[in-house]
Amino acid sequence: MKLFACIALCLQTGFALNNSLDWTLMDIFVFSIPVQVLPPVNFTLTVSALAQVLLQWEPNPAQEQNNSTIRYDVKILSPEPEEYDTSRTQSVRTAALHNGFCARVRTLLLQEGLQRGSDWVQGHLPPLPGAAETSVTNLSCVTHVTIPGNVSLHCSWLPGPGAPEDTKYFLFYRYETHTEECPTYSKDKWSRNIECRFSSTQIQPGEIDNLIVIHINGSSKRAAIKPFQQLFNQNAIEKVNIPRNISISLQQNHLLATWEKPISPFHEECFEYEFYLINLKSGNKQILSLSSSSFQLRVDASSRYSIRIRANLNHICRAPGVWSDWSATNYIGQNKLESSIAWILTLLCVSTSCMLLLVAILCQINHVWTKLFPPIPTPSNKFRDPFPIDYERARTCPSSTETEVGSLAEGFSCSVLDDSVF
């Protein structure tokens, strides 16, 4: 009996375990049924500002959530590849749009620690219209803090190789929500705008990694001018000002230099400097990198030096921008050898001039020139010519046709008169 009871109990227990295992397997099967992930709907791309696109979509109305978390995976395909995810159903991106824009989005479903994605939905914006090679080329821009709180902007470019001579270019900049057209242009020989200056802008000095959008379109009677857009990082195009109040001195064999940081909202520790030193005696040149606004260097005191300084922001505060221009050249010291030679030559010239002047004065006083070079006297005739008529006749040669007596007489008179003169 006990044996039969044990067998019956084991059978009941087995049936119970079997039923429990079946229910567990059913539960696992029920919860492991995959939920279908559906792509978003009504995906649109809209240009909301210069070089700015608004991406919008809606959740798929047939999507089952079942206590799942839904996010969206966004991938920008062009002009610059970028991928990110968001829980929102819209996104704003800044990009150059002259060659078009392309992006896609999909649904991400996170359930029980597992994430699955739907198919992609893609949209695109066509390139901006215009003839090929009419867009500007070689666009470059630089900002400059003119006074605290004010930033200027200067851009230059080249006309497109296919742009007609009557092309008129127009530049606009956008900073955050502010958009403005260039007030002052410079032109090439065909009167095409190739340069723009903003003396004052809405760009905020001291901001980090903000984007400046430049948009240049154009017009022509011969062709449709294709617009061009380019994005500039505010840090990368800021040209730092020149250091101020530079003071250079020479104390024995040490060159001492001090200066103040450039006009900028950044603090002193945000700047780095380059110190350009030339030994004018030997011709040696060196550029020294400095992190402070003072400097001391042992030098040859017998030499003369030229010094220039420039500045830039360092990586401590932000990414470096554009180096400032070099400061005006400062000179210190003097070349003693060259100075001595100059003094000797000057002394010789002065001494020689004084000696010549003294000799001239002495000569004038003592009439040395008259004594050395007396005038040649003109001889005077103290004897009266007794035969003035015969003398004149003697100065002429007698003719051979005269009579012999006359010839002899006149020949005799001629010889006597000639001997009396010399």
Q: What is the pLDDT of residues 69-115, one digit of tens each?
A: 999 999 999 999 999 999 999 999 999 999 999 999 999 999 888 88
The span from the CA of 299 to the CA of 333, in Å, is 10
Give the DSSP letter string of 57-95. EE--TT---SS-EEEEEEEEEESS-EEEEESSSEEEEE-
pLDDT at 239: 93
Cβ-contact 398, 412 below 8 angstroms = no
Question: What average pLDDT is seen over the chain?
Answer: 81
Tokens of 250: 């020479």
User: Alpha helix (H) ranges present in 245-335?
Assistant: none
CATH architecture of 41-125: Sandwich (2.60)
The span from the CA of 256 to the CA of 339, in Å, is 23
How does residue 221 score in pLDDT terms, banded at 50, 70 and 90?
very high
pLDDT at 365: 67
pLDDT at 13: 45
Q: Is the pLDDT of residue 160 over 90?
A: yes
Q: Is the pLDDT of residue 410 over 50?
A: no
pLDDT at 317: 86
Best CA proximity match to 108, nearest among 77, 76, 65, 78? 65
Q: Is the pLDDT of residue 372 over 90?
A: no
The residue type found at 177 is T
How does residue 355 score in pLDDT terms, banded at 50, 70 and 90?
confident
The span from the CA of 89 to the CA of 82, in Å, is 17
Q: Is the pLDDT of residue 332 over 80?
A: yes
pLDDT at 26: 40
pLDDT: which is higher, 228 or 402: 228
pLDDT in tens, 28-38: 344 455 678 99
Q: Is the pLDDT of residue 363 over 70?
A: no
pLDDT at 337: 45
∠ CA 168-171-174 to the nearest 5 degrees?
160
- Which CATH code, of 2.60.120.10, 2.60.40.10, 3.30.300.180, 3.50.30.40, is assigned to 137-237? 2.60.40.10
Q: What's the pTM?
A: 0.68
Tokens of 5: 């009871």
Tokens of 294: 């003072």
CATH code 2.60.40.10 region(s) in the chain: 41-125, 137-237, 244-334
- Across residues 282-300, what is the average pLDDT? 90
The residue type found at 178 is H
Mention the CATH class of domain 244-334. Answer: mainly beta
How does residue 177 score in pLDDT terms, banded at 50, 70 and 90?
very high
Percent of the chain past pLDDT 70, that is, above it, reads: 75
3-state per-residue secondary structure call for 162-200: CCCCCCEEEEEEEECCEEEECCEEEECCCCCEEEEEECC
Contacts made by residues 391-394, CB under 8 angstroms, sequence distance 24+: 391/417, 394/418
pLDDT in tens, 237-271: 999 999 999 999 988 888 999 999 999 888 899 99
Percent of the chain past pLDDT 90, that is, above it, reads: 55
Q: Is the pLDDT of residue 122 over 80?
A: yes
Which range among 42-51, 144-153, 215-224 shows the weakest confidence by mean pLDDT? 144-153
